[in-house]
Amino acid sequence: MSTAPATTQVGPPTKHQLALMIWIAVFPTLTVLNLVLGALISELPMVVRTLILATIAVPIVIYGIMPHLHRARRALLSRRS
């Protein structure tokens, strides 16, 4: 017999949940990057500014923020069931 408590399996996020999680991660990241780097890159062409911001923001969001949001979602949904 197993004495471990039963764990609730939480499936992958729906498209809507994932969209919200991405927005929660991307908006503040880009806001902070613009506040920090805005003056330094303001004279560059828009495409170059966008490339710089995306190059910095994508790894922060994917490797830094999204894993925490997935864990938070999993914990929230596990508590509900």
C-alpha 47/C-alpha 25 separation (Å) is 22
C-alpha 55/C-alpha 78 separation (Å) is 34
pLDDT of residue 44: 98
- Name the domain count of the chain: 1
Name 13's Cβ contacts closer than 8 Å, sequence gap at least 6: 21, 70, 73
pLDDT of residue 36: 97
**2 part of a folded domain:** no
**29 part of a folded domain:** yes
pTM of the model: 0.82
**10 part of a folded domain:** no
**3 part of a folded domain:** no
**40 part of a folded domain:** yes
Tokens linked to 67: 């894993």
Mean pLDDT by groups of 10 residues along the chain of 81 residues: 65 96 98 97 97 98 97 92 70
In terms of residue numbers, what domain contains 37?
Answer: 15-80
**23 part of a folded domain:** yes
Name 37's Cβ contacts closer than 8 Å, sequence gap at least 6: 52, 53, 56
